[in-house]
Every structure is written in C-alpha cells, then in structure tokens.
C-alpha cells in the first residue's frame, strides 16, 4: 500500500520517525516529488488485517504535533535547562565575580535556593 503525504503539511523527519516506529512490523520505502511524499508500506509477516495505513498516518500526525510543539516551546525548555544547570554558579551581588567559588564537598551539596531565598 502507498500513502501520499503533502509536503506542505508533513515534514520528512516526521515520516521517517513514524517509519522507524513501525520498522519491526513492516518495510517502508519513502519517496518524494515536488508536491508529495510517498510512503510504501509492506507488512513483514504478510498480515493485511492490521490497519498499517491508518496507524502510520496517526503516528505521522503525532510526530508533526511534537515537532510543532517543540518549535513553539523549545526555547522554554532551553531556559529551564540553563537555569537548572546554572543554579550552582549564581553569584551573589555582593560577591566579587573574579573570586573563585567554594570547592569543598559540603558547599557543593548545599541548595542555592535554601541559602539565598530571603536575600
């Protein structure tokens, strides 16, 4: 069976991710022209009662949604990760930025927020 996907709606990455998700159950061949992607699905076990076409389409939609969400909110994840990793190196306003932070084991285990909550 061959499914046609519009290049204006679906990304190549989403189709490859969907194909990878089902690669244990079917063989996939992905081709394209200027307007469409073509995905040919051949079940590995010859089983045709499983709705591979519908399952693949649903998975492609899921991966497109993930891609859209990542494009719109990826910067928030980057900020959260940067803040999480940077919380141990935040300098106090009164502290000289040229001085080195404490490096003993006890200071490494202290939570910055607990020490600076009321500052």
> Does the model's pTM come out above 0.85?
no
Amino acid 14: pLDDT: 94
| pLDDT attached to residue 90 | 54
Region of residue 46 (left: phi > 0; alpha: psi -120 to 50; beta: else): left
User: Domain locations in the chain?
Assistant: 2-85
The low-confidence residues of the chain, meaning pLDDT below 50, are 97-98
Determine the number of helices (DSSP H) and then strands (DSSP E) in the chain. 4, 3
């Amino acid at each position: 069976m061959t499914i046609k996907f519009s290049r204006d709606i679906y990304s190549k990455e989403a189709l490859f991710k969907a194909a990878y998700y089902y690669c244990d159950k079917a063989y996939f061949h992905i081709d394209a022209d200027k307007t469409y992607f073509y995905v040919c699905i051949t079940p590995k076990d010859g089983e045709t009662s499983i709705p591979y076409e519908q399952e693949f389409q649903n998975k492609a939609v899921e991966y497109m949604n993930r891609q859209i969400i990542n494009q719109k909110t990826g910067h928030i994840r980057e900020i959260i990760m940067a803040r999480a990793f940077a919380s141990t190196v935040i300098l106090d306003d009164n502290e000289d930025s040229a001085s080195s932070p404490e490096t003993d084991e006890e200071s490494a285990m202290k939570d910055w927020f607990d020490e600076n909550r009321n500052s």
